[in-house]
Amino acid sequence: MLQLNIYKARLYTKEITNLRKIYTNKIKYSSSRDSFDYKFKIFLDYYKLASILKDNLIDVILIMFKGYTLEYFYTYKFRNKGKFTINTIVSTIKANYKGLEHRINNL
């Protein structure tokens, strides 16, 4: 099983590298000040442009994040021991930052 995962990762190294190059820090999602839906649509466009198969979105979504959102993603990932879907990642991050935005606006 481990050998299969290493092989799979090698197949997409070039595509993932290309995605990292074209998806710059300037357009990454970082907090409630950004529109998650807007940034996610941009990410999906770049993801398709990099020719990464649809099934691998869960493996590369972390490229979309920076700052506290990236830290939050890793905390969520390790807490759930890899048992999550792209939908749970998206909904959890949106809920976390929507709640944060609400708290900031009501100070």
| pLDDT score for 77 | 81
| pLDDT score for 14 | 86
| pLDDT score for 9 | 53
| pLDDT score for 106 | 46
User: Which of 30, 82, 29, 78 has its CA nearest to residue 59?
Assistant: 82
The count of residues in the chain is 107
Q: With a cut of 70, which residues of the chain have pLDDT below it?
A: 1-11, 32, 82, 99-107
State phi, psi for 65 to the nearest 5 degrees: -105, 155
Rg of the chain over all Cα atoms, to the nearest angstrom? 15
Q: What is the pTM of this model?
A: 0.76
Tokens of 63: 């490229």
